[in-house]
Every structure is written in structure tokens, then in C-alpha cells.
């Protein structure tokens, strides 16, 4: 057991506090029963600070903190491209995608696909997302969280899975999205504090009398290869981050899919009071994303200098936590738990939204709002139980879990991006072309992986995107569907942004460009 009594007390106090606060902020007025708008979209009342914090809290979980630190340990700062290009992608989403989603009062991404294409596309993609969220995302968050708990406290991994699952259910099951989003500002504050403490202590350990900055300089001098943002073709990790392709290729498809068309993330923006509030939240989230590599990548790079005998890269972050003093260790461990719980709660709510609104409700037309909320809660709890059962058999033998997640989702990402981009901006796209793009994405990815194995997976994502896009466009011309019921309204979408979004976007782009120039 690496935690002292005071550390354990801090962690338990935090867990109890966040559960109580979540129930309090998600309570309803006397006589008002939660409906689907309350449960799945927080009553469409989220302010900008809740949206921004919740976007980051949903994104930064065990798979980022533990997984990206593991990739930082192996690859280096280059893995931060997922964070920094992701910030630019968020600005694109806020400018061009959100206006259409909000104007059409979208609950879920599959719902958009039905309004734009037809019910077949909605059903197929709903099933896909449910499988992805339960068998990849939810299980990876649980597994990496339990791994961290095991490394830090000695608690057996299976027990850790049950502890995290139970806390997530207690934290988010009753209140839904409001319980998660309105407590995420606390979660993010603790996450940032905890991450900065780990990085500071690790760098201080390296720097000695030279302090934190001296430790950072020494780290860059002793491990210069870990600070290459753009890897050369002779790097052993070129297949993970294929040089300049990171800035012009498949990573944009990965980011567009994740930040723009992923229910798990976009649901926060869909719950905004207004488009302007959503955009302010996005700018806030982008500034936080610029900071994230300091929190989730730098500890892994430091571990490469401080620890040489890790059994697996994903143990880098927990090992760095061992350097923390008593008391602080408890706060940082609570921050890790905060990130895990927030992401688990967000994922549970997205799973319940898609199953309830896109599958159950379409099969039961006259079901009451109260029944739908109940179905949503049952779905969320069931998904968590499934994830607990399959987490160890599914992920127990993988080294870099973050890279596994990217590789798996990369099979489907190109088709998803094609379906949505054509659906949003090209009226001629048909339901058949959307289905072919979705299926083609998986088929092309498997074929390229099998017969062109040396092709880096991010480049493969870019190639498959082009193939799926060309196929979908060709099919839309060859087999037009004139009777398709496209009810998506785009004419009066509010693309015009206010001054704060414009200035924020310029600052964010300039900072990220500078970071790439410095660490090229």
C-alpha cells in the first residue's frame, strides 16, 4: 500500500463529496419528473464553463492520463499531436458543425443521420457506436483506471474494476448529463492541479538543485529524441506518428470524428443554452487542451529518465505518482479518480442516450418520458456491468492501450467522417452512399492492413477516407435517391461567430503553431 492514512482519507472524502454534489446539482423542482431532455441533455441549460470543463473531463481519463503517459514514455512529445491538433479541430466544430446540430435540435448523432439520410443509417450507426463505446472506450477507461489503482494502492485489479464501476454508477446514474457536466469544473480543477503536481515533482527530481525548469532543460538535453513533434522515417515509432502526415493526413479524420461526430463528446455542446455559450465553452476547452500534454505526456517522458525497468509503458504515470509526498499523493490520486469517474459517467450517459433514443424509442412509439428515463438508467448500469466483466480479458495483454484504441477506432473513423461531412455540406449524398461508406471504411482498412502492413495507420486512415469519399460521391451520382426525406435545415445556420470566439481562435492557433515550430 503506497497511500498513507491521510491519503486514503482524502480520496474517500473526495468520492463521497462528488457523489453528494452530483445528486444535489441534478435535483429537480418539486413536482417535476425528469424527462429525456433533462436526463440526456441537462435540460439544454449548460453554461460555457460547464461545457468547456466537461469536454475536457470527458476526454481526459485513464486512457489519456495513463495511456498517453505510456506513449510519452515510449514515443515522446509527438503523441501530444492528438491534443494540439484536437484543439484546432474543436474550433472547426464550433464554427461549422454545431450551428447545424443546434438549429435542428439534435439529441444524438444517430438521430441526425436519420433526419439527413434514413432509418437504416441511424440504426446501423447506433449499433456500431454502442459496440465501440462499451467494448472499447468504457472497458479501456475501466481497465487503465484499475491498473493505476493497483500500481498505487496494491488493490487487486478486479476489485479496482468493481470500485470504479460502483462509484461511477453512484455518481451519474440518477442525474444523467447534468450530474456529470455541472460537477466537471471541480473534476477538471483537481485534474489540472494533480497533473501539474506530478510533472513538477518529476522534473524537480531530475533537476535537483536546479529546480523544475532545470529538470525540464536536463530532460530535453538527455532525451532529445523524446521532444520531436514530427518523427523522421527512421524512427522506430514512425508507424504510430508518420512524420508530416500527422499535420496533413489521417489525424484530422481521427479528430473530426472524435470531436465533431462522437456522441460521447458532442453531447455537452448539444446541451448548451445557446450557440454562443457552446462556442465560449469550446474556446475554454481548447486552452485547456494546449495544457494537457504537460499533464499527461510530460510525466511519461520523465519516467523514461527516472525509471528503466517498467513492465509496461502504461505504468509510467503511476510510477511518477510514487514520488509525491504524503497528502499530496492523496490529492493527485483523487484527481486521477476524478478524471476516470467523469469519463465513465459521460460514457454511460452517451450509451444510454443512443440506446434509449435511437433504438428503444424507435421501436416503442408511444412510450412515456418517465419510462424512457428509466430505460436510460437501466442501459447505463447494464453497460457498466458488461464492461467490468470483459475489461481484463479484452485489454489485459496490451502494452500501449492508447495506441490500441486509436488503431481500432481507425477502422471506422474514415467512413464516419465521410458520412457526416457529405451529410452536412452536400445535399446530393444518399442513404445508400452513406451505408457503403460506413461498410467500405472497415473493408478497406482491413485490406490495407493485411496487404500493405508497412503503411502507418494514420496514413491508412487518410487513404481510406479518400476511397470512401470517392465511392460515396460516385454512388450518389450513379444511384440518386430523389425521394429521400432530408429534413436537416442548413440555410439559416448561425455560422457567424462573435468577437470572443474569433480572438480566442487566433490565440489558440498561434500558440499551437509556435509549439510545433519550437519542437519540430
Write down the pLDDT at residue 149.
81
CA angle (17, 23, 26) in 5-degree steps: 135
Report how far residue 52's alpha carbon sits from residue 499's, in angstroms, rounded to the nearest whole number: 18
Contact status, residue 10 vs residue 330, Cβ threshold 8 Å: yes
Q: 343-373: buried (b, 16+ CB within 10 Å) or exposed (e) per residue?
A: bbbbbbbbbbbbbbbbbbbeeeeeeeeeebb
Query: How many C-alpha atoms does 198 have within 13 Å on its Cβ side?
Result: 35
Cα dihedral 402→410→413→442 (10° resolution):
-140
* Residues of the chain where predicted confidence (pLDDT) is lower than 70: 1-2, 28-33, 62-63, 396-406, 482-485
CATH code, 189: 1.20.1730.10
**What is the rounded end-to-end Cα distance, in angstroms, of the chain?**
42
Report how far residue 68's alpha carbon sits from residue 252's, in angstroms, rounded to the nearest whole number: 18
Contact status, residue 326 vs residue 6, Cβ threshold 8 Å: yes
Contact status, residue 458 vs residue 242, Cβ threshold 8 Å: yes
Pick from 414, 501, 484: which is nearest to 113 by CA?
Answer: 484
Domain-located, residue 114? yes
Report how far residue 406's alpha carbon sits from residue 398's, in angstroms, rounded to the nearest whole number: 13
Write down the pLDDT at residue 31.
58
CA 452 to chain centre: 29
Helices (H) and strands (E) in the chain, counts: 27, 0
Write down the pLDDT at residue 484.
65
How many other CB atoms sit within 10 Å of the CB of residue 497? 18
> In which domain, by residue range, is 221 found?
5-25+36-392+400-409+490-518
Domain-located, residue 480? no
Domain-located, residue 443? no
Pick from 450, 406, 408, 84: which is nearest to 237 by CA?
Answer: 406
Report how far residue 182's alpha carbon sits from residue 43's, in angstroms, rounded to the nearest whole number: 12
C-alpha to C-alpha distances, 38 to 142, 272, 347, 357, nearest whole angstrom:
27, 12, 17, 13
Contact status, residue 180 vs residue 345, Cβ threshold 8 Å: yes
pTM: 0.87
Write down the pLDDT at residue 404.
63
With a CB cutoff of 8 Å and minimum separation 6, the contacts of 493 are 99, 100, 103
Please state the three-class secondary structure of 305-322 as a single string. HHCCCCCCHHHHHHHHHC
Contact status, residue 152 vs residue 333, Cβ threshold 8 Å: yes
Report how far residue 515's alpha carbon sits from residue 494's, in angstroms, rounded to the nearest whole number: 32
Domain-located, residue 215? yes
Domain-located, residue 422? no
Question: What's phi and psi for 272, nearest 5 deg?
Answer: -70, 155
Write down the pLDDT at residue 203.
92
Report how far residue 476's alpha carbon sits from residue 259's, in angstroms, rounded to the nearest whole number: 27
Contact status, residue 410 vs residue 252, Cβ threshold 8 Å: no
Residue 107 DSSP class = S
Q: How many domains does the chain have?
A: 1
Cα dihedral 437→380→193→74 (10° resolution):
-50
How many other CB atoms sit within 10 Å of the CB of residue 178? 26
Domain-located, residue 466? no
How many other CB atoms sit within 10 Å of the CB of residue 235? 18
Domain-located, residue 194? yes
**Contacts for 219-226 with beta carbons within 8 Å, 24 or more apart?**
219/301, 219/302, 219/305, 222/305, 223/76, 223/301, 223/304, 223/305, 225/76, 226/72, 226/75, 226/76, 226/77, 226/301, 226/304
Domain-located, residue 47? yes
What angle do helix axes 457-478 and 431-451 make, rounded to 10 degrees?
150
Contact status, residue 195 vs residue 42, Cβ threshold 8 Å: no
Task: Give one DSSP letter per residue of 75-106, joined into a string.
Answer: T-GGGGHHHHHHHHHHHHIIIIIHHHHHHTT-
Query: How many C-alpha atoms does 412 have within 13 Å on its Cβ side?
Result: 17
For the chain, the residue count is 520
Write down the pLDDT at residue 401.
56
CA angle (382, 388, 394) in 5-degree steps: 120
Contact status, residue 171 vs residue 22, Cβ threshold 8 Å: yes
What angle do helix axes 413-425 and 119-132 make, rounded to 10 degrees?
140
With a CB cutoff of 8 Å and minimum separation 6, the contacts of 289 are 56, 59, 83, 84, 86, 87, 90
Residue 357 DSSP class = I
Amino acid at each position: 500500500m503506497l497511500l498513507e492514512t491521510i491519503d486514503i482519507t482524502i480520496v474517500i472524502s473526495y468520492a463521497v463529496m462528488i457523489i453528494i454534489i452530483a445528486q444535489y446539482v441534478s435535483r429537480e423542482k418539486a413536482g417535476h419528473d425528469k424527462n429525456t431532455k433533462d436526463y440526456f441533455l441537462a435540460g439544454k441549460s449548460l453554461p460555457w464553463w460547464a461545457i468547456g470543463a466537461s469536454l475536457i473531463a470527458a476526454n481526459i481519463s485513464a486512457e489519456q492520463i495513463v495511456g498517453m503517459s505510456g506513449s510519452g514514455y515510449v514515443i515522446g512529445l509527438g503523441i501530444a499531436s492528438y491534443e494540439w491538433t484536437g484543439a484546432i479541430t474543436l474550433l472547426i466544430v464550433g464554427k461549422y458543425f454545431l450551428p447545424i446540430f443546434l438549429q435542428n435540435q439534435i439529441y444524438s448523432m444517430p438521430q441526425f443521420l436519420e433526419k439527413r439520410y434514413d432509418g437504416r443509417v441511424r440504426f446501423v450507426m447506433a449499433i456500431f457506436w454502442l459496440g465501440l463505446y462499451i467494448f472499447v472506450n468504457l472497458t479501456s477507461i475501466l481497465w487503465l483506471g484499475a491498473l493505476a489503482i493497483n500500481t498505487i494502492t496494491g488493490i487487486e485489479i478486479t476489485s479496482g474494476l468493481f470500485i470504479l464501476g460502483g462509484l461511477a454508477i453512484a455518481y451519474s446514474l440518477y442525474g444523467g448529463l447534468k450530474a456529470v457536466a455541472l460537477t466537471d469544473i471541480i473534476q477538471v480543477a483537481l485534474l489540472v492541479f494533480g497533473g501539474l503536481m506530478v510533472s513538477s515533482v518529476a522534473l524537480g527530481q531530475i533537476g535537483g538543485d536546479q529546480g523544475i525548469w532545470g529538470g525540464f532543460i536536463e530532460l530535453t538535453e538527455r532525451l532529445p529524441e523524446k521532444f520531436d513533434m514530427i518523427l523522421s522515417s527512421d524512427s522506430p515509432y514512425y508507424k504510430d506518428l508518420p512524420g508530416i502526415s500527422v499535420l496533413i493526413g489521417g489525424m484530422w479524420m481521427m479528430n473530426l470524428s472524435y470531436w465533431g461526430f462522437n456522441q460521447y463528446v458532442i453531447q455537452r455542446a448539444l446541451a448548451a443554452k445557446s450557440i454562443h455559450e457552446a462556442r465560449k465553452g469550446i474556446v475554454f476547452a481548447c486552452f485547456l487542451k494546449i495544457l494537457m500534454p504537460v499533464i499527461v505526456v510530460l510525466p511519461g517522458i520523465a519516467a523514461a529518465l527516472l525509471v528503466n525497468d517498467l513492465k509496461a509503458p502504461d505504468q509510467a504515470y503511476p510510477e511518477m505518482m510514487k514520488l509525491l509526498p504524503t497528502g499530496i499523493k492523496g490529492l493527485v490520486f483523487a484527481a486521477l479518480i476524478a478524471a476516470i469517474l467523469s469519463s465513465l459517467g459521460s460514457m454511460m450517459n452517451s450509451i444510454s442516450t443512443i440506446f434509449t433514443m435511437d433504438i428503444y424509442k424507435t421501436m416503442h412509439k408511444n412510450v412515456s418520458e418517465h419510462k424512457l428515463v428509466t430505460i436510460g438508467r437501466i442501459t447505463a448500469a447494464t453497460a457498466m456491468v458488461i464492461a467490468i466483466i470483459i475489461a481484463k480479458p479484452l485489454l489485459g495483454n496490451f502494452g500501449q492501450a492508447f495506441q490500441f484504441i486509436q488503431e481500432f477506432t481507425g477502422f471506422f473513423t474514415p467512413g464516419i467522417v465521410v458520412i457526416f461531412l457529405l451529410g452536412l455540406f452536400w445535399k446530393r449524398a444518399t442513404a445508400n452512399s452513406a451505408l457503403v461508406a460506413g461498410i467500405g471504411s472497415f473493408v478497406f482498412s482491413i485490406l490495407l492492413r493485411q496487404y500493405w502492413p508497412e503503411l502507418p495507420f494514420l496514413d491508412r486512415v487518410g487513404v481510406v477516407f479518400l476511397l470512401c469519399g470517392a465511392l460515396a460521391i460516385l454512388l450518389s451520382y450513379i444511384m440518386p435517391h430523389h425521394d429521400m426525406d432530408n429534413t436537416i435545415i442548413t440555410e439559416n445556420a448561425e455560422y457567424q461567430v462573435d468577437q470572443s470566439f474569433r480572438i480566442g481562435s487566433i490565440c489558440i492557433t498561434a500558440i499551437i503553431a509556435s509549439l510545433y515550430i519550437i519542437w519540430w
